[in-house]
Amino acid sequence: MSASGRAEPPAVNGFNLVGRETFEQAVERVLVLADPGKTGVSELLDELVPWLTPRVAELELRRDLREFCRQVELAALPLPPRPDVIVVLGGDGSILSAVRAFGADPVPILGINFGRIGFLASVRATQWRGALADVLEGRAVLEPRMRLAGELRVRDAAPAASVALNEVLVQRGAAQGMLTVSLWDGDTWVSDYRADGLIVASPSGSTAHSLAAGGPILAPSMRGLVVTPISPQSLSHRPLVVHPDSRLTVRVEKASGLTTLVVDGHGFYPMHVGDSLLVSRHPVPYPLLARPDSDPYARIRERLGWRGTFEPEAEGDAPHGRHPLVEPGHGEVL
């Protein structure tokens, strides 16, 4: 208990685990999905597969993650027997592909990062043995990531449903002028936006397109919806963070051409004046796995260069993941 009488949040190795829980499930069946377009993935597979095979009852390897996930989404390929864990070798886009493929029956995903950023694929390639050992030995933690449920309502067509881990985006065509969209929270009108587009992001998606458009960063384990306009004509239009139980409606009011709905950078759907998108919190979050000593703030410092460099922090040589050369109050300012 703290001095105020409040219960302290659970922690492992000094890290706050609010919103996360220890992953103690027995792991017998593992599916490894590899992105062959990422440099170094093939070489790592030559080490990872022999290491992992004797440690689990069943190991399935798919060397072309994107093609596998595409076939699963198209129902052209049946899902394999449900694995206990999916290991993804790739970047954040690879994670999003796997989440889409297994979205109806979420399987915990451990992402080993071979991309440029790696907010979702949080484990460095050099840490793969330790990360997998954490998973197999019950030390890893689950980070339930809030998802978005979208329903596209268009003229003369049945509503189309979609699910996003990061974001949904209503945007203008490349060669047309600004569009005007209205935003409603339930039955309450929020505003009309004249802009290049409007993003509704989850906490996970707050570090993706929304961040690039000037939106805020939300802790990945929290709940909330981020609404961020893209290049709004009015400088007074600022990003909003709204309650996770809000039911938002984005309606196309004016457009000089085709408007599109984009879901996690994928699945382009045409929209016209009068069409609307309903966005709410999906009832089932998607579980991502992380190491027990993972520090989301260190991840942000490293990915966004808040330490004055984009070089990765030293691994395991300072308490709580702190870089030995960068102490609080002594970091460089970009």
Enumerate the active-site residues. 92
Cβ proximity of 138 and 129 under 8 Å:
no
Structure tokens belonging to residue 289:
């796995």
Q: Under a CB-based contact definition with an 8 Å cutoff, are residues 193 and 237 in contact?
A: yes
- In Å, what is the CA distance from 289 to each residue of 122, 148, 190, 236? 9, 19, 36, 39
Can you give the three-state secondary structure of 150-207, one letter per residue? EEEECCCCCCEEEEECCEEEEEECCCCCCEEEEEEECCEEEEEEEECEEEEECCHHHH
Rounded to 5°, the CA angle 170-174-180 comes to 45
Element (H, E) at 89: strand 85-90
The residue type found at 163 is: V
Q: Which helix (H) or strand (E) holds 269?
A: strand 266-271
**Among residues 248, 257, 68, 275, which one has the least CA distance to residue 167?**
248
Q: What are phi and psi of 99, to 5 degrees?
A: -65, -40
Expressed in angstroms, the distance from the first to the final Cα of the chain is 39
Question: Whose structure tokens read 């070489």?
Answer: 43
CB-CB contact of 280 with 148 (8 Å): yes
